[in-house]
Structure formats: C-alpha cells, structure tokens
Amino acid sequence: MITLFSYPGLFGLEDNNPYGLKIFAFLKLCGLPFEHRHILDTGSAPRGQLPYVTDDEASIGDSDAIIAYLKRKYGLDIDHALTPIQHDLDFLIRRALDDLYWVMSYSRWSDPRFWPVFKDAFLSTHPGITADSLDAARQYNFERYRYQGIGRFETGEVYARGIADLTVISNLLGDNEFLFGAQPASIDAAVYGFVANIFFYDIDTPLKQFVLTRLDLVRHCRAVRAVIDKPA
C-alpha cells in the first residue's frame, strides 16, 4: 500500500507545499490507491524532506524520484505518448518550477505584507500548530533564503523571477487544457502543485495577481482539479 507523507493542507488544498500537492495530484491522475498522512516532523523522511512515500518496504523521497519510482513499479503509462522533445520540455518546466518554489515560499514566509495572513490562516486551520512554531519556521526560512540567494534580492526582483517562470509555463500551455495533449501527463501534476498553491490561496500576492490575468493557467488548474475530483 502506498502512503504519502506530506505537509498539512491549507485553503482547501490537500497540501500547502507544491511538491506534496504534485505527488497527490500525480497519484490521483494515475488512479493509484494510497493513504495520505499529514505530518510536520521530517525526522523519518529520506533526506529529511517532505513529501515522501512508503510502498511495502521502500521509502522514497524527492518528488521527481517518487514519480520515477511509481512509474517504474506500477508500469504507469501517463507519459508514454510524449515525444522526445516533450520529455525535454518536461525536464525544463520542472526546473523552472524549482525556481518558482523559492518565490512562492518567500511570498508566504518573508514578505511582511503577506506573512500575517499566511500565519493566521495556518493557525486557524490547524489549531494544534502553535504560533511559536511558525515563528521559528519563519526564522529558519530566512536563513534558507539567504543561503539559496533569493533572500539577497530586492522584493520586486524576487517576484519578477516567479512571474517570469509562470509566463513561460503560460505561453507553453496556449489554448490547451493540458500541456502535451488531451490527457494530463505527469508534468501537469507538477504545474498544478504550484499554480493551485497560488490560485486557490486567499492571499493577494503578486504571483496570484499575475495568475489571475492568465486564463490559460487558470484553465489548466481547474482542468487538473476536475480530473482529481472525478469519482473513481
């Protein structure tokens, strides 16, 4: 039995972290049965990071490694129709999303305009989590941003990076519901994990303001959600 371990949800989403939501969406798109456990302690996680999955005796961390494992173990054909160029685009889009991650995280934990809203939403949704623990996590993130480099940018420069990432994905979508055809591929789960964590959030960051202006991103987000919500 597959078990997904990921961070708690927020604003109606199953995970407030885009990588955890990516794996949730992938499992749903592939129709794989799984148990979903929300945790905060990463002590048992491979590489000390969430999300991770366990499957029988296996424990796999890193969202891309998880997807590769599941495709191999269960013979999933979700990406079988992709051309070599589409496989390359899948890789490049995932790298753009890795860049977008830091901007999304910065908007919640660092930007003083949005941190109080994020913090209040988290505390009201998860009363078992304390304000002190969130404050400690914020200080930890400040260090991460400094070492990663994005914490050394001016605020406007930070958001410009994220909007550039979203623009590329928006342009690649065009008029399509999914990136590479009439049916979703694994890259659609990845894009959904990020865009849904912007679009469905009731926090008016520059990232959300931009997403709301790009109907292709909104259409894609709703299309993936519709597949996820479809009864088995």
Q: What is the mean pLDDT of each run of 10 residues along the chain (232 residues)?
A: 94 95 97 93 85 93 96 95 96 97 96 96 92 94 94 96 97 93 95 97 96 97 94 72
Domain with CATH 1.20.1050.10 in the chain: 84-229
What token pair was written down for 130?
Answer: 């304390």
**d(C-alpha 82, C-alpha 66), whole Å:** 19
What is this structure's pTM? 0.95
Cα 101 to its chain centre, rounded Å, is 8
Integer CA distances (angstroms), 7 to 13, 20, 73, 77, 170, in order: 11, 7, 25, 28, 27
112-164: per-residue pLDDT in tens?
Answer: 999 999 999 999 999 888 999 999 999 999 999 999 999 999 999 999 999 99
> What pLDDT was estimated at residue 48?
85
Sheet holding 2-6, edge to edge: 34-38, 2-6, 52-55, 58-61
pLDDT of residue 57: 87
Q: What is the DSSP string of 129-186?
A: S-HHHHHHHHHHHHHHHHHHSGGGS-HHHHHHHHHHHHHHHHHHHTT-SSSSSSS--H
Q: Quickly name the fold that domain 84-229 has.
A: Glutathione S-transferase Yfyf (Class Pi); Chain A, domain 2 (1.20.1050)
Task: Select from 63, 71, 83 the least CA-distant residue to 30.
Answer: 71
* CA atoms of 21 and 11, how far apart (whole Å): 13
Start-end of CATH 3.40.30.10 domains in the chain: 2-74
The pLDDT score that the predictor gives to residue 232 is 66
Superfamily of domain 2-74: Glutaredoxin (3.40.30.10)
Q: Is there a contact between 223 and 130 (Cβ–Cβ < 8 Å)?
A: no
Alpha carbon distance 157, 103 (integer Å): 10
Q: What is the pLDDT of residue 46?
A: 87
The pLDDT value given to residue 47: 84
Point out which residues pair with 35 in neighbouring strands.
3
